[in-house]
Amino acid sequence: MSNERPQGRILVKLFPSLIGLARRGLAGWAVLIGGVIVAVVAIMTVVSPWISPYNPIAINVGPILSPPSSEFPLGTNHLGQDMLSRVYSGGSIMFQVALLSVIVCLAVGVPIGLFASYAGGYTDKVASLVMDSIYAFPGLVLAIAIAAMLGPGVVNMALSIAVVYVPSYFRIIRSQVLTIKELPYVEAAHMMGARARTTLFNYILPNVIPSIVAVATINFADAILTAAGLTFVGLGLPVSTPDWGWDLTYGRRLLPSGAWWVIAFPGLSVVLLALGFTLMGEGLSELFNPRLQR
């Protein structure tokens, strides 16, 4: 019976929870609005090959630096490329870089955070020192240094961003584990002879997951902004890939011509995407830890 219409069942489960979100006040609305923004941008990026009126990297499809018109609703840039097509597809790199860096952060930050803070003592002190040193550093500068050494590419960008943000995961997990591991139920598990691994993964981890989800969501926004920053300082991908960051980088040189449309639309797209993730992340962390914020 359960095998009959799994999609239907998921939808039925999801739908009330969406309504439920809106009932939970501003934070719920923030998650909902942020989620919708992110979903819309994601869908737009995925279907861009089918909805783009022109090839986003083909040059001279229209006049050079044409303002928004009926034929080119968002205008064209200095290479005669159609800005609408570029806005549709320009998020692809950012999504890839952000997703990959969040995955790396999760894969590295979560285990280190769990083990170090659960073990305590010397391990915890060393791990904290290393993480705090990275955390204190200007993130973009560190990412620039790493990306400059690794060279361009989606994976390299994602790695350099991940190094910068692993400490955020470590810190939140550590602060939670330090509290949770003193709770009576964990002590009870100890008394009953549970192994450290069982305690850590079966009893402690589930209580940390909500915070991890909140951090990861905000981290998406950070990763997107950092990726845009890396592109801006010349460490992005080659010209052959449509990218909002690239449009903003080259748009700077076109400012004196007054061509506002070349930067406005890609820029607003980045803002919208980062805003979507920020709203979601802020909302989630407020829902999960209502005491922390007001």
Partner 1 sequence: MSLRSYVIARIMLTIPMIMLLLTFVFLLVRVLPGDPASLHFEKQVDPRMLLEFKRQLGLDKPIEIQYIDYLVGLLRGDFGKSMQDFSPVSQQIFSAFPATLELAICSTIIMILVGVVLGVQSSRSYDSVQDHSIRVFGIASYAIPVFFLGEVMIMIFAIYLHWLPAGDRIHAGMAPTGLTLGGLHWSTGLYTIDSILEGNTSKFIMSLRYLLLPSLTLGTVLCGIFIRLTRGNMLETLQLDFVTAARARGLKERTVVYGYALRNAFLPILTMMGLQFAALLAGAVLTETTFSWPGLGRYLVDRISFRDYTAIQGVVVFFGILVAMVSLAVDIIYAYLDPRIRF
For the bound state, the minimum distance from the C-beta of residue 142 to partner 1, rounded and expressed in Å, comes to 7
Q: Does 103 bind partner 1 (CB under 8 A)?
A: no
Scanning 6-14, 170-178, 198-206, 248-256 for contacts with partner 1 by CB under 8 A, the matching segment is 248-256
CA angle 84/95/293 to nearest 5° reads 110
For the bound state, the minimum distance from the C-beta of residue 226 to partner 1, rounded and expressed in Å, comes to 9
For the bound state, the minimum distance from the C-beta of residue 32 to partner 1, rounded and expressed in Å, comes to 15
Contact indicator for 284, 277 with CB cutoff of 8 Å: no
Q: Does 152 bind partner 1 (CB under 8 A)?
A: no
Q: Does 250 bind partner 1 (CB under 8 A)?
A: no
Nearer residue to partner 1 within complex by CB, 146 or 157: 146
For the bound state, the minimum distance from the C-beta of residue 129 to partner 1, rounded and expressed in Å, comes to 6
Size of the site for partner 1 (CB under 8 A): 45
Binding mask 187-226 for partner 1 (x = CB under 8 A): ----------------------------------x---x-
Amino acid, res. 126: V
Nearer residue to partner 1 within complex by CB, 85 or 278: 278
Q: Does 233 bind partner 1 (CB under 8 A)?
A: yes
For the bound state, the minimum distance from the C-beta of residue 188 to partner 1, rounded and expressed in Å, comes to 33
| Binding to partner 1 in span 256-275, by CB under 8 A | 256, 258, 260, 263-264, 267, 270-271, 274-275
For the bound state, the minimum distance from the C-beta of residue 134 to partner 1, rounded and expressed in Å, comes to 8
Nearer residue to partner 1 within complex by CB, 61 or 266: 266
Contact indicator for 71, 62 with CB cutoff of 8 Å: yes
The residues that touch partner 1, with contacts defined as CB under 8 A, are 26, 129-130, 132-133, 136-142, 144-146, 148-150, 221, 225, 228-229, 232-235, 248, 251-252, 255-256, 258, 260, 263-264, 267, 270-271, 274-275, 278-279, 282, 293-294
